[in-house]
Amino acid sequence: MAFIHGFMIAASVVVGAAAPQQPAAPAGKEVCAGCHDTVVAQFDRSAHAAVVLKEGGTQVAGCEACHGNGAKHAEAGGGAGTIRSFKNLSSADEAQACLTCHRTGHAMEWAGGPHQMAGVSCLDCHTIHQSRTVIGKLTGVEGMAVSHATAPAARGSLSKPQVELCLGCHQQIRTKIMQQSRHPIREGRMTCSSCHDSHGAGIKGVKTTQRINDLCLSCHAQHQGPFVFEHAPVEESCMTCHDPHGAMANNMLKQNEPFLCLQCHEMHFHAARAGQTTPYLSPSAGLIANKGGATGFMQGYNTRCTNCHVKVHGSDLPSQGVTGKGKAFSR
Ligand code: HEC
Ligand code: HEC
Ligand code: HEC
Ligand code: HEC
Ligand code: HEC
Ligand code: HEC
Ligand code: HEC
Ligand code: HEC
Ligand code: HEC
Ligand code: HEC
C-alpha cells in the first residue's frame, strides 16, 4: 500500500474541519485514488477493473463492490473498522464477499468441496489486485504488481504460477510429477487444472461429475469401450493400475509387470512346450501332464505379460488361444 503523504495531511484536515457524516452514495474509485493511487493503478489493469455489483436497485462499481461503501472511510482518511478489510475475515466470510458475484459456474460447487471443507480461502490462491499483464520491471514499487505476475499466473489471477501454487501445499504430489513416467506437467503442456477443479465438489476434486474414468477417457479416447472383450479392472477404474501423477514404472503403472498383473492373476506357463511331463498349470485347463519328467523345466511367462496380452484395456477381436475361448486380449 502506498499513500501520498500530502494527501494524508489534507485528509486529516477534512476530518478536523467538518463533522463527518455518513453519505449514502459510494465514494467512487476516483476518491480512493486520492490515497491509494498505486492500488488503483494496478486495479485498473486487473480483471475486476470494470465489475459492477448489482444488489437490489443499487449498483456499485469498482473498489466498493468488494470493500463495501467506503465514503465514511475516505472521509475519515482511513481508520480501522471503517471499511471491509480482508485481513481479519474468516475463510467463509471472505468467500462470501466473492461469491456475491461468483455464484454461478464452478464457484457454485465451492461449498462441500475439499478446499472449502479444509478452510482454504479464495485468497490462498487468488490475488485480486494483481495485474493481468506484466508491465515492465516493477520491483521495488510498493503496492504494484509483483514480479510473479507472469503469464501462467495471469490466467485466473493466481498468486503464483499454478503448479507451484498447488505444490506449495501438496508436497506429496511434487515427488510424483518428478518421476520419469508422468503427465507432461513439468513440460508445461498440462497443469493440475487439466484434471482438477479447485472449486469443485467432485470426487477428490477431479473434473468430472460421473466417474474418474470419464476424465481419463476424455483425452485417451482410444481406450474407451464398450469392447466385445472387456477387462474388468479397466471398467472398474483406471487408477487400479495407473497413478495419474506419475510413477517409477513405465506407462505410469503403479507396479511393474508382471507384478502388476500377478496381484490378480496366477502366473502361467507355455502350454505348447514339447517334452514336458511334470504337471504344469494352464490358466484355462488346470494341471496338465509334463512329458519332460523331473528334469524338464517349466517356462513361466514372467516378463511382460503385455508382450502377448497386447490389448490389456479391452479388445473387439477374439484371441487365438489353444482353448479357443477367445478372451486373452492378445490382439
Ligand atoms: C474483487 C474484489 C476487490 C475489489 C473490486 C477491490 N479490492 Fe481491494 N482487496 C481485495 C482483497 C481480497 C484484498 C486482500 C488482499 C489479499 O489478501 O491478497 C484487498 C486489499 C486491499 C487493500 C489493502 C492493502 C493490500 O494491498 O493488501 C487496499 C488498500 C485495497 N484493497 C484497496 C482497494 C481499492 C482502492 C480498490 C479499487 C481501486 C479495490 N481495493 C478493489 C478485494 C478487492
Ligand atoms: C483520505 C485518504 C484515504 C482515502 C480517500 C481512502 N483511504 Fe483507504 N486507507 C487510508 C489509510 C490511511 C489506510 C491505512 C490505515 C488504516 O488501516 O486505517 C487505508 C486502508 C484501506 C484499506 C485496508 C484496511 C485494512 O485494515 O487492511 C482498504 C481496503 C482501503 N483503505 C480501501 C479504500 C477504498 C475502497 C477507498 C475508496 C472508497 C479508500 N480506501 C479511500 C486512507 C484513505
Ligand atoms: C462485483 C462482482 C464481483 C465480486 C464481488 C468479485 N468478482 Fe471476481 N470477477 C467478476 C467478474 C465480472 C469477472 C470477469 C472479468 C473478466 O473476465 O474480465 C471476475 C473475474 C474473476 C477472476 C478471473 C480473473 C482472471 O484473471 O481471469 C477471478 C480469479 C476472480 N474474479 C476471483 C474473485 C475473488 C477471489 C473475489 C473475492 C475477493 C471476487 N472475484 C469478487 C466479478 C466479481
Ligand atoms: C486451491 C486454489 C484455489 C482456491 C482456494 C480458489 N480458486 Fe479460483 N481458481 C483456481 C485456479 C487454479 C483457477 C484457474 C483455472 C484454470 O486455469 O482453468 C481458478 C479460476 C477462478 C476463476 C476464473 C475461472 C472460472 O472458473 O470462472 C474464478 C472466477 C475463481 N477462480 C473464483 C474463485 C473464488 C470466488 C474462490 C473462493 C470461493 C476461489 N476461486 C478459490 C484456484 C483456486
Ligand atoms: C493453501 C494451501 C493449499 C493450496 C494452495 C492448494 N491446496 Fe489443495 N488442499 C488443501 C487442503 C488443506 C486440502 C484438504 C486436505 C487434504 O486432502 O490434503 C486440499 C485438498 C485438495 C484435493 C482433494 C484431496 C482429497 O483427498 O480429496 C485436491 C485434488 C487438491 N487439493 C488439489 C489442489 C490443486 C489442483 C491446487 C492448485 C490449484 C491446490 N490443491 C492448492 C490445501 C491447498
Ligand atoms: C491426469 C490427471 C491429473 C493431473 C494432471 C493431476 N491430477 Fe491430481 N488426481 C487425479 C486423480 C484421478 C486423482 C484421484 C486419484 C485416486 O482416486 O486414486 C487425483 C488426486 C489428487 C489428490 C488427492 C490425494 C492423492 O494423492 O490421491 C491431490 C492432493 C492431487 N490430486 C493434487 C494434484 C496436483 C497438485 C496436481 C498438479 C501438480 C495434480 N493433482 C494433477 C488426476 C490428476
Ligand atoms: C487433459 C488431457 C488428459 C487427461 C484428462 C488425462 N491424460 Fe493421460 N496423457 C495426456 C497427455 C498429453 C499424455 C502424454 C502423451 C505424450 O507425451 O505423447 C498422457 C499420457 C498418459 C499415459 C502414458 C504415460 C507414459 O509414460 O507414456 C498414461 C498411462 C495416461 N496418460 C493415463 C491417464 C489416466 C489414467 C488418466 C485419468 C486419471 C489420464 N491419463 C488423464 C493427457 C491427458
Ligand atoms: C489392468 C491394469 C490397467 C488398467 C485398469 C488400465 N490400464 Fe492403461 N495400461 C496398462 C498397461 C499394462 C499399460 C502398458 C502396456 C500397454 O500399453 O498395453 C497401459 C498403458 C496405458 C497408456 C499408454 C499407452 C497407450 O495405450 O496410449 C494409456 C494412455 C493408458 N494405459 C490409459 C488407461 C486408461 C484411460 C484406463 C482407464 C480407462 C486404463 N489405462 C486402465 C494397464 C492398465
Ligand atoms: C485388479 C485385478 C486385476 C489386475 C491388476 C489385472 N487383471 Fe486381468 N482380469 C481381472 C479380472 C477380474 C478378469 C476377469 C476374469 C473373469 O472374467 O473370470 C481379468 C481378465 C483377464 C484376462 C482374460 C481372462 C479371462 O478369463 O477373462 C486376461 C488375459 C488378463 N486379465 C490379463 C491381465 C494382464 C496381462 C494384466 C496386467 C497388465 C492384468 N490382467 C491385470 C483382474 C485383474
Ligand atoms: C508368450 C505369451 C504370453 C505371455 C508372456 C503371457 N501370456 Fe497369458 N496367455 C497367453 C496365451 C496365448 C493365452 C491363451 C491360452 C488359451 O486360451 O488357450 C493366455 C492366457 C492367459 C489368461 C487366461 C485367459 C483364458 O483364456 O482363460 C490369463 C489370465 C493370462 N494369460 C494372464 C497372464 C499374465 C498375468 C501374464 C504375465 C505374468 C501372462 N499371461 C503372460 C500368452 C501369454
User: Along the 331 residues of the chain, how does pLDDT read in single tens digits?
Assistant: 333 332 332 333 333 334 445 456 888 889 999 999 988 888 887 778 888 887 777 788 889 999 989 999 999 998 878 999 998 899 999 998 898 888 876 677 888 889 999 999 999 998 888 655 444 444 333 333 333 333 334 567 888 888 999 999 999 999 999 999 999 999 989 999 999 999 987 788 898 878 999 999 999 999 999 999 999 999 999 999 999 999 999 999 999 999 999 999 988 876 544 445 566 677 777 776 655 554 444 456 778 899 999 999 999 999 987 676 888 999 9
CA 74 to chain centre: 40
pLDDT at 119: 93
Does the Cβ of 119 fall within 6 Å of ligand 5?
A: no
Sort residue 28 into left (φ over 0), alpha (ψ -120 to 50) or beta. left
Does the Cβ of 115 fall within 6 Å of ligand 10?
A: no
Sign of CA dihedral 53, 59, 61, 66: negative
pLDDT at 45: 75
pLDDT at 270: 63
pLDDT at 13: 32
The reply to whether omega before 20 is within 30° of 0 (cis) is no
Q: Smallest Cα–Cα separation from 138: which of 129, 151, 149, 124?
A: 149
- Between the CA of 329 and the centroid of ligand 5 the distance, in Å, is 38
- Between the CA of 309 and the centroid of ligand 10 the distance, in Å, is 7
Cα distance between residue 123 and residue 119, in whole Å: 11
Cα distance between residue 6 and residue 10, in whole Å: 6
Q: Smallest Cα–Cα separation from 24: which of 70, 56, 55?
A: 70
pLDDT at 309: 94
